């Protein structure tokens, strides 16, 4: 029996950890999302989720140099990984005491099909989001 491997294209973007570059990330994911034939509403959801993720990185780690946004484009889904080089616990990331960070995480969870994150010494804080075409 032959198992067919899924074809995945990867686009990686590195932006300075500054508010004025969040719009660059939004534009990039909009173009990538369009390749998967998401609806206009789904593309807007993806853009907002990425903007919130980047904004959370900036608020948590004002001294960080960059944010990495990696988009894995699969047949029926878009996987987006947003990483900074800060270390935070999951409880800290969900905390409403982070200012708009708690609201940002809530928005991201409501806009995307899957959301998880981890924080460790090697990778920093990594947020992984998945949006499936058609919302399935």
User: What confidence tier does 61 reach under pLDDT thresholds 50, 70, 90?
Assistant: confident
pLDDT, one tens digit per residue, over 6-50 is 778 999 999 999 999 999 999 999 999 998 889 999 999 999 999
SS3 labels along the chain: CCCCCCCCEEEEEEEECCHHHHHHHHHHHHHHHHHCCCCHHHHHHHHHHHHHHHHHHHHHCCCCCEEEEEEEECCCEEEEEEEECCCCCHHHHHCHHHCHHHHHHHHHHHHCCEEEEEEECCCEEEEEEEEEHHHC
Give the pLDDT confidence score for residue 63 in this predicted structure. 72
Give the pLDDT confidence score for residue 3 in this predicted structure. 55
What is 9-135's CATH topology?
A: Heat Shock Protein 90 (3.30.565)
pLDDT, one tens digit per residue, over 84-123 is 876 655 555 554 444 444 677 889 999 999 999 888 777 7
Q: Where are the domains of the chain?
A: 9-135
């Amino acid at each position: 029996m032959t198992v067919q491997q899924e074809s995945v294209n990867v686009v990686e973007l590195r932006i300075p950890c500054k508010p004025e570059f969040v719009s660059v990330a939004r534009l990039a994911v909009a173009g990538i999302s369009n390749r998967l034939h998401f609806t206009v509403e789904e593309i807007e959801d993806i853009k907002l989720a990425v903007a919130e993720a980047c904004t959370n990185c900036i608020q948590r780690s004002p001294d960080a140099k960059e944010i990495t946004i990696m988009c894995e484009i699969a047949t029926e889904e878009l996987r987006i990984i947003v990483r900074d080089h800060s270390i935070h616990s999951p409880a800290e990331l969900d905390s409403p005491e982070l200012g708009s960070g708690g609201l940002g995480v809530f928005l991201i969870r409501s806009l995307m099909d899957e959301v998880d994150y981890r924080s460790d010494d090697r990778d920093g804080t990594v947020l992984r989001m998945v949006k499936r075409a058609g919302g399935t």
